[in-house]
Amino acid sequence: MVVYICADRDETRDYKMREYCEEEINSGNIPFAPQLLFVEQEPGDAEDDEELWMSLEMLARLDALHVYGTNITPSMKREIAYAASIRMPVAYMDDDDDEEEERDYA
């Protein structure tokens, strides 16, 4: 399964995002982590909106959304809401790579 990694960019540095990707690989999934691909922009910049648009375009092509962390940002809420709108499975993961109970952030 190809999964979209959704995490707070401000709270999650590259090393942590790489750990999430490694956990997904060890679980037999192929991770897609836009935070590792796109240059970080200032919130509210046109480039920030473009990055979110590109991320949502990729999200639509994947199998599931996996949410890491407890700080849900406005961008993450948009990703979660978009995934729900296209009936994509959304899993909330803890740091031990175990699925947590369903949480409603949309």
d(CA 36, CA 7) in angstroms, rounded, equals 11
Nearest Cα to Cα of residue 93 among 10, 31, 15, 34: 31
Q: Which pLDDT score is estimated for 75?
A: 86
CB 24 within 8 A of CB 5: yes
Look over the chain and give the mean of its residue pLDDT values, rounded to a whole number: 83
pLDDT, position 11: 65
* Per-residue pLDDT at 23: 95
- What pLDDT does residue 61 have? 97
Residues of the chain with pLDDT under 70: 11-12, 39-48, 95-106
| Nearest in space to 67 (alpha carbons), one of 55, 83, 52, 44 | 83
**pLDDT in the model for residue 50:** 81
pLDDT of the residue at 59: 96
Q: What is the pLDDT of residue 29?
A: 98
Q: Where in the chain are the domains?
A: 2-93
pTM across the whole model: 0.81
Distance of CA 38 to the CA centre of its chain: 13
The highest-level CATH class for domain 2-93 is alpha beta
